[in-house]
Amino acid sequence: MTRVLISADMEGATGTVSPADVAAGTPRYERFRRLLTQDVNAAVAGFADAGAEEIVVNDAHCGMDNVLIEELDPRAVLIVGRHKPLGMMEGLEDGIDAVAFVGYHTGAGEQGVLAHTYLSHSILGVRIDGEPVGEGGFNALVAAEAGVPVVLVTGDDLTCREAAGYAPGCRTVAVKRAISRHAAVCRTPAVTAADIRREAAAALSAPPPRPTPRATAHVVEVDVDSPHLADRASALSGVELSGPRTVRMDTPDTVTALRRFRALSWVIGGGREGDWT
Ligand SMILES: [Zn+2]
């Protein structure tokens, strides 16, 4: 029995380029959540073509309730909603054979459409053991600790390039070519769906080797854009200031690193100043 987890973010979906495209409550968002669902469906179809018997889609963007379940391929089940222990990687449990990142984007401080790491503001960069990571790189480490390879990544061209670094051998589909943070050359949904389906099938037919599952201790460092946010974050147990705008924490394993980083992002996000001059 082959089981696949699809972690579905939104900034890297077909056609999205602006914050309004991915922010619930805007008319544009209602269009783009449909396109996100189409990208997800294409991946589901491709994995099913290659023999996947169970496909779990984890909605991983913002409120984590973006994919339209009424339009989702019925061969998948949908994890929807917030406060999941593993967040973007919820569903990574025993028996998952492969992970796909659909609609992903580059990390904070990088070029690329709507690049960020968790917060759209305040976080300037994240390093694990000295290496810069975005959401894809972080989540790939979580998958690797469980012995599961990342087999497919979709997003803009720079997201695909980033994926080649953290998940060598995975298949990628660039649904758009980044021009700036808020502009891209976008391919149309019918074209990207065909590519995603084909690459998903190929990815599961010849996946990269499984990583050896083992708990790995990490040093996580986070750069923020204002000293008061670092001060605030350092109130959390185990989080230390390591510079005026940088905090660090030592974590015993990658799941703990992810859970503590998420809490850190909430504390940082809650301290953002309003506009003043
Ligand atoms: Zn994201």
Q: Is residue 253 part of a domain?
A: no
Q: Is residue 273 part of a domain?
A: no
Q: Is residue 233 part of a domain?
A: no
Q: How far is the CA of 90 from the centre of ligand 1 (A)?
A: 14
What is the structure's pLDDT at 1?
84
Q: What is the mean pLDDT of residues 39-63?
A: 98
What DSSP assignment string belongs to 209-267? PPPPP----EEEEEEESSHHHHHHHTTSTT-EEEETTEEEEEESSHHHHHHHHHHHHHH
Q: pLDDT averaged over the chain?
A: 97
Q: How far is the CA of 110 from the centre of ligand 1 (A)?
A: 13
Q: What is the mean pLDDT of residues 128-137?
A: 98
What is the structure's pLDDT at 59?
98
- Mapped onto helix, strand or coil, the DSSP state of residue 128 is strand
- For the chain, what percent of residues have pLDDT higher than 90? 97
Q: How far is the CA of 162 from the centre of ligand 1 (A)?
A: 14
Inform me whether the pLDDT recorded for 174 exceeds 90. yes
Contact 175, 191 (CB under 8 A): no
Greatest pairwise CA separation for the chain in angstroms? 60
What is the structure's pLDDT at 270?
96
- Among all chains, which residue has been given the structure tokens 């060598």? 168
Q: Is residue 116 part of a domain?
A: yes
Q: How far is the CA of 115 from the centre of ligand 1 (A)?
A: 8
Q: What is the mean pLDDT of residues 144-159?
A: 98
What is the structure's pLDDT at 95?
87
- Mapped onto helix, strand or coil, the DSSP state of residue 99 is strand
Contact 43, 21 (CB under 8 A): no
What is the structure's pLDDT at 147?
96
Q: Is residue 248 part of a domain?
A: no
Q: How far is the CA of 85 from the centre of ligand 1 (A)?
A: 17
Q: How far is the CA of 7 from the centre of ligand 1 (A)?
A: 10
Q: Which token pair is 255? A: 């799941």
What ranges make up the beta strands (E) of the chain? 3-8, 54-59, 76-79, 98-104, 123-128, 131-132, 150-156, 171-180, 183-186, 218-224, 240-243, 246-251
Q: Is residue 267 part of a domain?
A: no
- Mapped onto helix, strand or coil, the DSSP state of residue 12 is coil
Residues 203-242 have pLDDT tens digits of 999 999 999 999 999 999 999 999 999 999 999 999 999 9
CATH code of the domain in which 165 resides: 3.40.50.10780
Inform me whether the pLDDT recorded for 93 exceeds 90. no
Structurally, the chain folds into a number of domains equal to: 1
Q: How far is the CA of 114 from the centre of ligand 1 (A)?
A: 9
Q: How far is the CA of 135 from the centre of ligand 1 (A)?
A: 6
Q: Is residue 66 part of a domain?
A: yes
Q: What is the mean pLDDT of residues 125-139?
A: 98
Q: How far is the CA of 70 from the centre of ligand 1 (A)?
A: 23
User: In this structure, is the dihedral angle defined by the CA atoms of residues 19, 22, 23 and 26, taken in order, positive or negative?
Assistant: positive
Q: Which token pair is 246? A: 């940088």
Structural domain of residue 69, as residue ranges? Answer: 3-120+134-205
What is the structure's pLDDT at 90?
97
Q: What is the mean pLDDT of residues 39-66?
A: 97
Inform me whether the pLDDT recorded for 265 exceeds 90. yes
| Strands 98-104 and 123-128, sheet pairing | unpaired
Q: What is the mean pLDDT of residues 169-190?
A: 98
Q: What is the mean pLDDT of residues 161-188?
A: 98
Q: Is residue 238 part of a domain?
A: no
Inform me whether the pLDDT recorded for 277 exceeds 90. no
What is the structure's pLDDT at 89?
97
What is the structure's pLDDT at 69?
98
pLDDT classification of 73: cutoffs 50, 70, 90: very high
Contact 167, 153 (CB under 8 A): yes
The closest of 34, 93, 23, 97 to 61, measured between CA atoms, is 23
Inform me whether the pLDDT recorded for 94 exceeds 90. no
Q: What is the mean pLDDT of residues 177-195?
A: 98
What is the structure's pLDDT at 166?
97
What is the structure's pLDDT at 172?
98
Q: How far is the CA of 247 from the centre of ligand 1 (A)?
A: 21
CA atoms within 13 A on the CB side of 193: 14
Higher pLDDT, 64 or 274: 64
Determine the Cα–Cα distance for residues 101 and 110; give it in Å rounded to an integer.
18
Q: How far is the CA of 277 from the centre of ligand 1 (A)?
A: 30
Q: What is the mean pLDDT of residues 12-27?
A: 96
